[in-house]
């Protein structure tokens, strides 16, 4: 499982947006998000760049 820090999530709806975006990335088996922690967790062998792109397309930023 990988944990990704994400900037910009403020509510449960944001969590849903991030999870939906991550679920669409090839190789993602499951994804969860926690706006209070500012993180998402991803299981699977998805490409890191594809995950970052999905997060950005959903309107959020991967914290570095």
What pLDDT shows up at residue 28? 98
What length is written for the chain? 64
What pLDDT shows up at residue 42? 98
pTM over 0.85, yes/no? yes
pLDDT in tens, 6-64: 999 999 999 999 999 999 999 999 999 999 999 999 999 999 999 999 999 999 999 87
Question: Does residue 4 register a pLDDT over 90?
Answer: yes
What pLDDT shows up at residue 63? 87
| Distance (Å, whole) CA 28 – CA 7 | 20
| Distance (Å, whole) CA 26 – CA 30 | 11
| Distance (Å, whole) CA 3 – CA 10 | 18
């Amino acid at each position: 499982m990988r944990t990704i820090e994400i900037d910009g999530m403020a509510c449960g709806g944001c969590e849903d947006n991030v999870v939906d975006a991550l679920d669409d990335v090839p190789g993602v088996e499951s994804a969860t998000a926690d706006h209070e922690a500012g993180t998402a967790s991803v299981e699977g062998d998805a490409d890191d760049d594809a995950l970052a792109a999905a997060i950005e397309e959903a309107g959020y930023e991967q914290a570095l």
